[in-house]
């Protein structure tokens, strides 16, 4: 925590967490195509790659509780560092609990009891200072923690004024100047705090009547100052972490893998499932090799990896946990998925409206925008467990019919007949069915859009190239596409060597190549062709 002449600025308020990822897209896209893909290429073709690029795992062993806890701390540190790197708005706030929660009620009652006891002790005749002295000692340690290493003069001053041995002696003789000590603490806090806390310090100086209340407010402001100090440190640490982000995250994950050999189990299962699906769906037939024997063709490594990334976009979090290599981005992935599901439903409703009503509402962009906004609002939060999609769609149908009738009558067209309104309502409500053709069409084309972005080495130029039928969602798809591709490229750059090692083992362990066609050559061709 800097002193008053080098205060940190106040932290920015939280914006959409996904927005920060987009700003880093170009940096991560450029990195993906260089050295790290070369490292991945080495991992596919050799077991002797350099230590910097090739992940390694320890043989299975029994882990002690200390080792498990250390791995958990490593994962926590990795998640924390990743959040600082990719989220420019990331900052910490003092602990706060929902007002109506049980924990908040318990906390409030416990704290109230503590401060009531302190007030009672200080009002005794003679006063009891034991609780107050413990609070002063805690305050002293907090103030010392705020100091820079070179602030020796202020450190000495704090130790002299808050000399606990001296205060104990004064307490025994009932000559402790609690008000004077509190005034010094508040003045010292004013020298250390960020500008955003000046108003809080001013209120502390004005509220000196009740000593217990004053101490309670001092601790409240100290908690705010601790959060400011952490956020100031984060802001200074972010450029350093961003410069070394790839090496840092890869090395940190490697250390987790060495301590916990099972740290890639979910990742391996994820990639293995994609390999099996590609082999059964895309390569169902056997192809003759040079010796005339039948041999099943296998998908290439980058084809496997791209298909795996597309699967992440529609991951079912209720059935299985995310792969370990994606856990640090789970919140961002969920937000993209939720927004995408809502946008797909909106697009399905619009397609049904225009295919059902037809000509009288064609070529009216203002009407299309109103219908889109209205449907989006009514379907907001559809990912929530308590959200009733069928009821929401009935409400959407009613509002759509009202809006259409209003537009039609304003332009001297006949209003929708009751039969047509019933048909429109039925078709809109039917998109809850998984085999609904409109729903299937939209989902397939959204998958086609993201597959195009993931497979293209320069996807930035194609964010606006949405498939036909999705034109109404072009702005939303472009934004989500940029966010998702940024996450994919950064993830691929950091964890590419781990993916390469897994795919190489899966491909080569399941294949039986002839002597003239070693698996290394097959993998090398697949990599260099992308």
Distances (CA, A) of 73 to 70, 255, 261, 269, 330: 5, 11, 16, 24, 18
Give the pLDDT score at 107: 61
Integer Cα distance of 87 and 331 in angstroms: 12
CB atoms within 10 A of CB 183: 15
Integer Cα distance of 246 and 243 in angstroms: 8
Does the structure show a pLDDT above 90 at 69?
Answer: no
- In our burial notation (b when 16+ CB lie closer than 10 A, e otherwise), range 501-523 reads bbbbebbbeeeeeeeeeebeebb
Does the structure show a pLDDT above 90 at 372?
Answer: yes
Integer Cα distance of 198 and 9 in angstroms: 12
pLDDT digit string, tens, across residues 262-273: 889 999 999 999
- CA 337 to chain CA mean position, Å: 12
Give the pLDDT score at 417: 92
208 vs 484: which has the higher pLDDT = 484
Query: Average pLDDT over the chain, rounded to whole?
Result: 77
Tokens of 512: 């039986």
Query: Shortest CA distance to 87 belongs to which of 450, 490, 496?
Result: 490
Give the pLDDT score at 235: 77
Does the structure show a pLDDT above 80 at 40?
Answer: no
Stated pTM of the model: 0.61
CB 297 within 8 A of CB 287: yes
Integer Cα distance of 385 and 396 in angstroms: 19
Query: Shortest CA distance to 488 belongs to which of 472, 476, 499, 477?
Result: 499
Average pLDDT score over residue span 514-529: 38
3-state secondary structure 112-151: HHHHHHHHHHHHCCCCCCHHHHHHHHHHHHHHHHHCCCCC
Tokens of 483: 């966010």
Distances (CA, A) of 31 to 20, 136, 381: 18, 52, 36
Does the structure show a pLDDT above 90 at 87?
Answer: no
Average pLDDT score over residue span 169-183: 85
pLDDT digit string, tens, across residues 449-493: 999 999 988 888 888 899 998 998 899 999 999 999 989 988 998
In the chain, what are the domain boundaries?
A: 102-242, 326-509
CB atoms within 10 A of CB 212: 20
In the chain, DSSP finds a helix count (H) and a strand count (E) of 21, 2
How many angstroms separate the first and last alpha carbons of the chain? 49
117 vs 5: which has the higher pLDDT = 117
Average pLDDT score over residue span 285-295: 49
What radius of gyration do the chain's Cα atoms show?
31
Burial class (CB in 10 A: 0-12, 13-18, 19+), 15: exposed
pLDDT digit string, tens, across residues 315-364: 999 889 999 999 888 988 999 999 999 999 999 999 999 998 888 888 88
453 vs 129: which has the higher pLDDT = 453
pLDDT tier, 441 (very low <50, low <70, confident <90, very high otherwise): very high
Integer Cα distance of 326 and 459 in angstroms: 21
207 vs 246: which has the higher pLDDT = 246
Least confident of 43-47, 414-418, 494-498: 43-47
Backbone angles phi, psi at 57, to 5 degrees: -125, 145
Burial class (CB in 10 A: 0-12, 13-18, 19+), 160: exposed
Share above pLDDT 90 across residues of the chain, in percent, rounded to a whole number:
31
pLDDT tier, 88 (very low <50, low <70, confident <90, very high otherwise): low
CB atoms within 10 A of CB 283: 13
CB 97 within 8 A of CB 107: yes
- Cβ neighbours for 524, distance < 8 A, ≥ 6 positions apart: 41, 44, 45
Integer Cα distance of 154 and 77 in angstroms: 32
Neighbouring C-alpha atoms within 13 Å toward the C-beta of 505: 12
Average pLDDT score over residue span 19-26: 43
């Amino acid at each position: 925590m800097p002193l008053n002449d080098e205060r940190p600025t106040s932290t920015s308020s939280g914006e959409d967490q996904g927005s920060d990822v987009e700003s880093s897209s170009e940096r991560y896209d450029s990195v993906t195509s260089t050295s790290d893909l070369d490292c991945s290429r080495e991992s596919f073709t050799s077991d002797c790659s350099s230590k910097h690029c090739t992940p390694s795992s320890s043989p299975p062993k029994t882990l002690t509780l200390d080792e498990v806890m250390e791995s958990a701390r490593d994962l926590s540190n990795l998640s924390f560092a990743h959040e600082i790197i990719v989220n420019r708005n990331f900052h910490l706030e003092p602990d706060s609990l929902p007002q109506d929660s049980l924990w908040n009620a318990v906390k409030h009652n416990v704290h109230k009891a503590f401060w009531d006891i302190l007030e009672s002790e200080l009002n005794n005749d003679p006063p009891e200072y034991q609780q107050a002295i413990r609070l002063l000692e805690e305050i002293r340690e907090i103030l010392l923690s705020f100091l820079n290493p070179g602030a020796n003069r202020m450190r000495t001053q704090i130790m002299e004024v808050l000399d606990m041995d001296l205060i104990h002696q004064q307490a025994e003789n009932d000559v402790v100047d609690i008000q004077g000590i509190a005034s010094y603490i508040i003045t010292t806090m004013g020298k250390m705090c960020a500008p955003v806390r000046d108003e809080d310090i001013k209120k502390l100086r004005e509220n000196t009547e009740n000593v217990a209340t004053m101490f309670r407010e001092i601790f409240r402001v100290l908690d705010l100052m601790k959060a400011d100090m952490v956020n100031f440190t984060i802001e200074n640490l972010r450029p350093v972490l961003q410069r070394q982000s790839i090496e840092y995250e890869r090395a940190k994950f490697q250390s987790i893998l060495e301590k916990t050999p099972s740290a890639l189990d979910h990742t391996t299962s994820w990639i293995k499932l994609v390999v099996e699906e590609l082999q059964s769906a895309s390569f169902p037939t056997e192809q003759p090799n040079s010796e005339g024997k039948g041999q099943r063709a296998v998908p290439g490594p980058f084809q496997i990896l791209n298909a795996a990334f597309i699967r992440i976009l529609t991951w079912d979090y209720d059935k299985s946990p995310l792969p370990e290599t994606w856990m640090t981005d789970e919140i961002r992935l969920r937000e993209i998925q939720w927004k995408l599901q809502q946008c797909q439903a909106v697009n399905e409703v619009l397609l049904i409206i225009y295919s059902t009503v037809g000509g009288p509402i064609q070529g009216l962009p203002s009407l299309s925008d109103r219908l889109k906004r209205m449907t989006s609002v009514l379907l907001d939060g559809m990912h929530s467990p308590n959200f009733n999609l069928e009821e929401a769609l009935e409400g959407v149908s009613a509002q759509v019919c009202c809006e259409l009738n209003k537009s039609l009558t304003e332009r001297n067209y006949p209003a929708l007949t009751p039969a047509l309104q019933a048909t429109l309502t039925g078709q809109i409500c039917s998109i809850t069915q998984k085999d609904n053709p409109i729903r299937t069409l939209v989902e397939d084309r959204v998958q086609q859009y993201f597959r195009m972005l993931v497979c293209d080495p320069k996807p930035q130029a194609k964010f606006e190239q949405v498939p036909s039928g999705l034109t109404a969602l072009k702005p939303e798809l472009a934004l989500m596409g940029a966010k998702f591709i940024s996450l994919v490229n950064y993830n691929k750059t950091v964890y590419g060597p781990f993916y390469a090692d897994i795919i190489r083992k899966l491909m080569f362990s399941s294949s039986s190549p002839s002597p003239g066609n070693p698996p290394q050559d097959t993998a090398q061709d697949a990599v260099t062709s992308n």
